[in-house]
Structure 1
Amino acid sequence: MSPSNQSPRITVLTPTFNRVQLLSRIHQSLVAQTGRDFEWIVVDDGSTDGTGVLVQAWAAESPFPIRYVWQENAGKHVAVNRGVQLARGELLLILDSDDWLVPNALARVGYWWGSIPEAQRDEFAGVAGLCAFPSGEVVGTRFPKDVLDSNSIEVRVRYRVQGDKCEVWRTDVLRQHPFPEDLGSFVTEGLVWNRIARRYGLRFVNEVWMVKEYQPHGLSARSLELRVGSPQAAKVYYKEFAETPDMGIPFTRRLREYANFTRFSLHGQIPLAQQAIEVRFKGLWAAATPIGFLLYLRDRLKLGGQRRRR
């Protein structure tokens, strides 16, 4: 189906790499949506499994616009940046290849975004709902209120909300905050979400919009391996969190983040003297350094054991 001249309300963006066997679930969940005011962009990060043939076949007969883009393998964060630039929707939802949406998800996204008074929307980066496992159990914890206006940092630190959530972002805000592409092959989404939180809020609602089925060899399962493989990105993430102005981040949480900064700086072979120059709160960093060193040693033992078992 060729895209209409009218821009859709929502862009669903799927970055994917050799996941052709999982994409049908996403497609079926989009076909089942109760509303049609959306487009689907698939950014293929160098797949060799026939992903393009399948997606383009769907696009030829789709009741909603589908666009397929292939790029040389560069990492999910680069694929997301490319999709954001191509997006025509006011809002953008990143839907990974092992996830899918409940039938009314996009309609509810539109409803809750519309519930924010137009005069206040410049203060919000978007809306967020819950994720669930295929069993129906909510991933992590619910929000403390059925409707909560907060931000990505405060909701984790002050309200102690845990687990993946279904964030839907203003496309223009994502364009203002692209993923860094010079920090390695893996950049955690939290780096960008935290940067956005320093300026914008989100409306969080206790509704399940997304179903997640974590794969045995997916990004979540390989979190440590990926962070160690891109230590520059990891250390930037933890340093920025430790040095976030105010937002109610307690001393103990800043200490933990600095420990992780040291941990991944050591993985990146950055000496302590250089680390001391980089950090803002030098006393707090110094207190956290022994913990970071122990975490670094534990990582090496754990990853070394995994390599020996392969």
Structure 2
Amino acid sequence: MYELPVTIFTPTYNRAYLIERLYKDLINQTSKDFEWVIVDDGSSDNTEEVIEKFIKENILDIKYFKKENGGKHTAINYGVDKARGELFFIVDSDDGLLPDSVETVINLWNENKNIENISGISGLCIYENGDVIGTEMPDDKPICKFADLYFKYNVKGDKTLVLKTDILKKYKFPEPSGIKFLPESVVWFELSKYYTVRCINKPMIIREYLEDGLTYNMMSTNAVRGKATEFMILINQQTYPITRYPYMWIKNYINRVRYSKLAGFKYLSGIDGFFNKFMCILMYPLGYYKYVKTRDLVKHN
């Protein structure tokens, strides 16, 4: 049994100047039935000092851990191991939370937790001006596979995702050597092969896209190396079955070639099975074309 309904999890890296905003949003939650687990992914600023100040104020149940820099995916794995909440609610250090977000999650989960193969809750993200990021979710699909939202029902944009901690302990992120960015698709969409989520058209997270954030740096060296690894993993896991997501199934092979070329990787390296290697070779012309179109955009760091 878990000690709390919810773990709010925040991975952070050099965000001492920003994280107090989230702290204030957590203080203002209508439900305090949560812990705040912060994993500092090797910050070189005064993040630790800022968090220690929060802890001394003794307003929230805060657990702070500092680890060697390894990327957000490794911080998530670390946080899952430390979580004492039944649900794992990832809120980034540059995010905000609406005042009733935790209460909404707890109430909705209590109403739906006994549904077979349900893994968690998905809600909306909004900009600071209140506009919904992307599109809303279909009202007639309150319970569905998370991947179906994007690849069957044409939902766009970031969404809030709160998942059962027990499930995340079973489906951890791979931690390949030398990769400090690994997209969350390798776990979130893999779970869609086995589990559903309860969807709600209610904003929970307030999201801001900063220039030092991942979204603005998707063509950095770290990012293209991570994307190349992402598509290798998605192919090997068969995350997108051809019968359910034929477009995404083909796209994996094309993007494996594209991002491997951008990253300087051998595109067949690490690909499991003769058939998958054959598909990569078959899709090489399209992948190479996309590589040529984007190679000048890579930001070397």
- Structure-1-length-normalised TM-score: 0.88
Q: Which residue of 2 aligns with 1:173?
A: 167
Q: Which residue of 2 aligns with 1:236?
A: 232
Q: Which residue of 1 aligns with 2:17?
A: 21
Q: Which residue of 1 aligns with 2:39?
A: 43
Q: Which residue of 2 aligns with 1:158?
A: 152
**In the TM superposition, what whole-angstrom CA distance separates every residue of 1:77-108 from its partner, at most 9, and x where no partner exists?**
11111111000000011111110110000000
Identity across matched positions, percent: 31
**In the TM superposition, what whole-angstrom CA distance separates every residue of 1:169-217 from its partner, at most 9, and x where no partner exists?**
1001111111111151111011110111111111111000000001012
Note the C-alpha offset of 1:282. Answer: 6.3
> In the aligned structure 2, how far is the partner of 1:258 from the partner of 1:229?
15
**Larger mean Cα displacement after TM superposition, 38-47 or 275-284:** 275-284
Give the one of 200, 213, 218 matched to 1:205.
200
Question: CA separation of 1:117/1:96 partners in 2, compared to 1, >3 Å: closer, same or farther?
Answer: closer
Q: Which residue of 2 aligns with 1:248?
A: 244
Q: Which runs of 5+ in 1 are unaligned?
A: 1-5
Do the aligned residues in 2 keep the contact of 1:15 with 1:76 (CA within 8 Å)?
Answer: yes
Task: Give the partner amino acid of 2:87.
Answer: L
Do the aligned residues in 2 keep the contact of 1:34 with 1:103 (CA within 8 Å)?
Answer: yes
Task: Give the partner amino acid of 1:200.
Answer: Y
Do the aligned residues in 1 keep the contact of 2:14 with 2:44 (CA within 8 Å)?
Answer: yes
Q: Which residue of 2 aligns with 1:144?
A: 138
**In the TM superposition, what whole-angstrom CA distance separates every residue of 1:93-146 from its partner, at most 9, and x where no partner exists?**
11111101100000000111111152x25x111001000000101011100117
Number of equivalenced pairs: 299
Question: CA separation of 1:275/1:22 partners in 2, compared to 1, >3 Å: closer, same or farther?
Answer: closer
**Larger mean Cα displacement after TM superposition, 93-102 or 50-59:** 50-59
- 1:71-110 aligned within 5 A: 71-110=67-106
Task: Give the partner amino acid of 1:96.
Answer: D
Question: CA separation of 1:102/1:267 partners in 2, compared to 1, >3 Å: closer, same or farther?
Answer: same
Q: Does 1:290 align with 2:266?
A: no
> In the aligned structure 1, how far is the partner of 2:274 from the partner of 2:133?
34
Task: Give the partner amino acid of 1:222.
Answer: N
**In the TM superposition, what whole-angstrom CA distance separates every residue of 1:201-245 from its partner, at most 9, and x where no partner exists?**
111110000000010121111112233233552332452586622
Note the C-alpha offset of 1:285. Answer: 4.2
> In the aligned structure 1, how far is the partner of 2:102 from the partner of 2:219?
32
Question: CA separation of 1:16/1:271 partners in 2, compared to 1, >3 Å: closer, same or farther?
Answer: closer
Q: Which runs of 5+ in 2 are unaligned?
A: none
Note the C-alpha offset of 1:48. Answer: 2.0
Do the aligned residues in 2 keep the contact of 1:255 with 1:287 (CA within 8 Å)?
Answer: no
- Partner SS state of residue 216, structure 2: coil
Note the C-alpha offset of 1:275. Answer: 8.0
Q: Which residue of 2 aligns with 1:191?
A: 186
Q: Which residue of 1 aligns with 2:51?
A: 55
Note the C-alpha offset of 1:31. Answer: 0.3
Question: CA separation of 1:272/1:36 partners in 2, compared to 1, >3 Å: closer, same or farther?
Answer: closer
Do the aligned residues in 1 keep the contact of 2:256 with 2:267 (CA within 8 Å)?
Answer: no
Give the one of 178, 201, 218 matched to 1:223.
218
- Structure-2-length-normalised TM-score: 0.90
**Larger mean Cα displacement after TM superposition, 235-244 or 153-162:** 235-244
Do the aligned residues in 2 keep the contact of 1:144 with 1:159 (CA within 8 Å)?
Answer: yes
Following superposition, which runs of at least 4 residues in structure 1 exceed 6 angstroms of deviation?
none
Question: CA separation of 1:136/1:243 partners in 2, compared to 1, >3 Å: closer, same or farther?
Answer: closer
> In the aligned structure 2, how far is the partner of 1:146 from the partner of 1:130?
16
Question: CA separation of 1:221/1:240 partners in 2, compared to 1, >3 Å: closer, same or farther?
Answer: farther
Note the C-alpha offset of 1:279. Answer: 6.1
Do the aligned residues in 2 keep the contact of 1:13 with 1:93 (CA within 8 Å)?
Answer: yes
> In the aligned structure 2, how far is the partner of 1:25 from the partner of 1:270?
40
Question: CA separation of 1:130/1:276 partners in 2, compared to 1, >3 Å: closer, same or farther?
Answer: closer
Do the aligned residues in 2 keep the contact of 1:92 with 1:169 (CA within 8 Å)?
Answer: yes
Q: Cα RMSD (Å) of the superposition?
A: 2.5
Question: CA separation of 1:238/1:52 partners in 2, compared to 1, >3 Å: closer, same or farther?
Answer: same
